Amino acid sequence: MVFESSVRYVAEMIIESKKTVALTGAGISTESGIPDFRGPEGLWKKIDPRLVTIQSFRMFPEVFWYFIAERFESLMKAQPNKAHYALAELEKIGKLSSIITQNVDGLHFKAGSKNVIELHGNMREAICMNCSTIVPMDEALKMAKRNYYLPMCKSCGGILKANVILFNEPLPKEAIEKALCESRTCDLMLVIGTSLQVYPAAYMPAIAKQRGAKLAIINMEPTPLDDSADVVIHAKAGEVLPVIVGIIKEKLMRAS
């Protein structure tokens, strides 16, 4: 299927869909200047992912705060790109039920999306490993810099951790349950900017497919689910999604 017809086909699928859900990954934020993890310039090509397991955090929290701190600062300055705004527009016109995101950058919220399920937590805040007190991230980063990259909880003296899910750490129960419910009840899942290498996020499209949903994958590189998808577009999300939303709005306007 050539590019134009694939884009048109995804637009048709969304128009006909009763419930469309999007699963997004780091690839949707690269056009906002945030590197992804496994793409050609991915973060895991520069930082050893073993640095961001919950075990390594417990042993060397300062290392986490030192190496990761500047990433959080650049994340906080990042702005949504056309792909984020396109999904927010889809939600606004009633054609997107929810976004299940693996991203911690908060850019879907910044773009105006409301129903966003953050599977891997968020970088807006830090959490005390002892008493679960929540602290805004900018406050935690200031404390980290003032205290040799070891921010401590003001309530109990426990160590603060960014409220993002590290490798080998359980995912937030409520987020998982909501994501599973959305995946089981949608009739179309848009899979955008993810290599589908990390579970349980990567289960969601398979669960949707199992329940009879259609799959549309928009990703720069091939993914393990390409063969079972109804349509695959290997292109930039920021280029494809605005065109899809434009086609949908034009068709809905003509039909009204």
In whole angstroms, how close is the CB of 148 to ligand APR at the nearest point? Answer: 26
Chain centroid to Cα 125, Å, comes to 16
CB-nearest residue to ligand APR: 27
Nearer to ligand APR, 214 or 236 (CB): 236
In whole angstroms, how close is the CB of 229 to ligand APR at the nearest point? Answer: 14
Nearer to ligand APR, 3 or 148 (CB): 3
* C-alpha span between 36 and 30 (Å, rounded): 6
Nearer to ligand APR, 61 or 238 (CB): 238
Nearer to ligand APR, 204 or 248 (CB): 204
Nearer to ligand APR, 160 or 166 (CB): 166
In whole angstroms, how close is the CB of 15 to ligand APR at the nearest point? Answer: 22
In whole angstroms, how close is the CB of 49 to ligand APR at the nearest point? Answer: 6
List 84, 108, 120, 234, catalytic entry: 120
In whole angstroms, how close is the CB of 104 to ligand APR at the nearest point? Answer: 7
For ligand APR, the binding residues (CB under 6 A) are 25-27, 30-31, 36-39, 42, 102, 120, 193-195, 197-198, 219-221, 236-238
3-state secondary structure the chain: CCHHHHHHHHHHHHHHCCCEEEEECHHHHHHHCCCCCCCCCCHHHCCCHHHHEHHHHHHCHHHHHHHHHHHHHHHHHCCCCHHHHHHHHHHHCCCCCEEEECCCCCHHHHCCCCCEEECCEEEEEEEECCCCCEEEHHHHHHHHHHCCCCCECCCCCCEEEEEECCECCCCCHHHHHHHHHHHHHCCEEEEECCCCCCCCCCHHHHHHHHCCCEEEEECCCCCCCHHHCCEEECCCHHHHHHHHHHHHHHHHHHHC
Q: 120 catalytic, yes or no?
A: yes
- The set of catalytic residues is 120
